[in-house]
């Protein structure tokens, strides 16, 4: 009997051990399975700034009384018009009927034509320029000399000043769109935005709700077009080969009526030649330009209206970068990159 009970206990013990082992094994197997197959992390959310698109294509408005039209050379004007509209919306500036103030490129062109800045030159003579930086008669406001024969360079000083004047006159509470801060970065031979440290500045601007105008390549691969960066889409770690992407608003439409929507579309290929990080606000005082900037600028020109109208924005020449004089003879001021008013061709 004792042997029988002992054998039964042994068999019961073996069965219990086997049950425990099976339970432990199942538990360990489940743990291993959990360790080997964790749920994939969600893809990072994009950083998006809402912007209504505008296009140069088909707009035959002549810029600055020149033969150059917005259709042919107005990419920069259109890009900055989109930016201005986005900043007005962000600032909450409305007209007397509580409707958002919105501009077309042709309307901004008219603002620049009609805006005037009066000043005295070094000899004390009374002078004036329009919003494009073109000399005008101080008396009747007409252009001095022949109209420009080529596409004008966009003058950001004139642009900001003209829009400030107009939004103040039209806004419900007479508060204008005013510059809050501005900094810029130029790249002599262009740079891949995904590989350059400046990408963090662009991302920071987007997270702040500000779109970013940039200069990109034309069909020849050289700098010659402007677009507006409106969002950043981080790479998806769950998708092999996924890369960071930048959404753009491109003023140019091809022959099929389509416009590029990504900075990595050809011929842009994520390459930028300059970026202007501007932030505007409702009312208040104009803030000065911030450092650093990659460009040298003679401080004697800082208050020269022909070079720097309104004392807070540069005059941009079409298609050429400022020369770099020897250090020590000039001061480093943030005057920005080259904003040629040429469209992609």
Please spell the DSSP secondary structure of 180-232, one letter per residue. Answer: EEEEEEEEEEEEETTTSTTHHHHHHHHHTT--EEEEEE-TTSSEEEEEEEEEE
| Full-model pTM | 0.76
Q: Is 333's pLDDT higher than 80?
A: no
* Angle, alpha carbons 300-317-331 (nearest 5°): 30
Mean pLDDT of 266-290: 81
Lowest mean pLDDT among 188-192, 271-275, 324-328: 324-328
3-state secondary structure of 311: helix
Average pLDDT of the chain to the nearest whole number: 77
**Stretch 38-46: mean pLDDT, rounded?**
84
- Quickly tell me which residue has 């909450």 as its tokens: 92
Of how many residues is the chain composed?
345
On the question of pLDDT at 309 being above 60, the answer is: no
pLDDT class of 175 with cuts at 50, 70, 90: very high
User: How many other C-beta atoms lie within 10 A of the C-beta of residue 232?
Assistant: 23
Residues 86-125 as b or e (16 or more Cβ within 10 Å = b): bbbbbbebbeeeeeebebebbebbbbbbebbbebeeeeee
Q: Kindly give the interhelix angle for 105-114 and 75-91, rounded to the nearest 10 degrees.
A: 90
> What token pair was written down for 83?
């930016």
CB atoms < 10 A from the CB of 5, how many?
9
Asked whether residue 306 carries a pLDDT value surpassing 70, the answer given is no
Residue, of 325 and 105, whose pLDDT is higher:
105
Q: Classify residue 94 by its DSSP letter.
A: B
CA atoms within a 13 Å half-sphere pointing along the CA-CB vector of 143: 14
Pick 59 or 331 by higher pLDDT. 59
């Amino acid at each position: 009997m004792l042997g029988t009970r002992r054998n039964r206990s042994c068999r019961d013990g073996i069965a219990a051990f086997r049950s425990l082992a099976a339970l432990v094994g199942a538990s360990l197997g489940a743990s291993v399975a959990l360790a080997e197959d964790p749920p994939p992390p969600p893809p990072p959310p994009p950083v998006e700034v809402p912007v209504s698109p505008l296009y140069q294509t088909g707009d035959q408005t002549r810029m600055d009384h020149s033969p150059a039209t917005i259709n042919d050379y107005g990419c920069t004007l259109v890009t900055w018009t989109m930016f201005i509209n986005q900043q007005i919306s962000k600032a909450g500036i409305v007209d007397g009927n509580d409707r958002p103030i919105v501009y077309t490129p042709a309307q901004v062109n008219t603002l620049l034509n009609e805006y005037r800045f009066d000043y005295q030159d070094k000899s004390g003579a009374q002078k004036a320029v329009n919003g494009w930086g073109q000399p005008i008669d101080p008396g009747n406001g007409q252009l001095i000399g022949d109209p420009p024969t080529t596409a004008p360079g966009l003058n950001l000083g004139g642009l900001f000043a003209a829009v400030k004047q107009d939004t103040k006159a039209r806004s419900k509470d007479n508060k204008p769109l005013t510059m809050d801060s501005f900094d810029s970065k130029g790249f002599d031979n262009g740079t891949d935005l995904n590989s350059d440290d400046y990408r963090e500045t662009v991302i920071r601007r987007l997270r702040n709700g500000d779109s970013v105008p940039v200069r990109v390549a034309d069909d020849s691969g050289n700098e010659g077009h402007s677009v507006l960066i409106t969002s950043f889409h981080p790479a998806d770690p769950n998708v092999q080969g996924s890369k960071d992407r930048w959404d753009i608003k491109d003023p140019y439409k091809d022959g099929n009526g389509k416009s590029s929507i990504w900075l990595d579309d050809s011929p842009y290929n994520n390459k930028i030649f300059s970026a202007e990080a501007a932030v505007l606000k409702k009312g208040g005082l104009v803030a000065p330009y911030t450092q650093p900037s990659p460009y040298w600028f003679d401080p004697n020109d800082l208050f020269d209206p022909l070079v720097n109208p309104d004392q807070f924005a540069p005059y941009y020449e079409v298609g050429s970068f400022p020369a770099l004089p020897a250090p020590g003879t000039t001061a480093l001021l943030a005057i920005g990159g080259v904003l040629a008013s040429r469209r992609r061709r």
